[in-house]
Amino acid sequence: MAEPEFTANGVRIGKRLRSLTRAGQVRISGGRLELLTSYGSEIDSAPVQAVRASRPWFAPEDRALADLNGNRYLLKLGEHDPAPGEPGPPAARRFIEAVRKAAGRGR
């Protein structure tokens, strides 16, 4: 199996006002975006070409939106990339760039 193109652990994943997991995982691998619970169960997944990732208006820097299969998920990642060797999720900006790059729409 190929190395994932993007992985973030410790991500809070919510849908509307409901929190689905407080320590989930977001992974882009093999052309698919996967949202996983802290136990590794799949919340949702879709091909990256069908995913829309953006930053919500009037929200802190650590938030990102991901639209998968007609569902909108709010992801709370880190405000800043963690220092090398430090735990913590990468910045929301890096997630959005990874989705665009994997879908072939990136810079």
Q: Is 4 helix (H, G, I), strand (E, B) or coil?
A: coil
For 41, phi then psi, to 5°, come to -75, 145
- For the cut 70, the answer to whether the pLDDT of residue 65 exceeds it is yes
Q: How much is the pLDDT for 39?
A: 94
Q: Quick one: pLDDT at residue 1?
A: 52
What is the pLDDT, as a whole number, of residue 2? 61
pLDDT digits (tens, 9 = 90+) for 21-56: 999 999 999 999 999 999 999 999 999 999 999 999
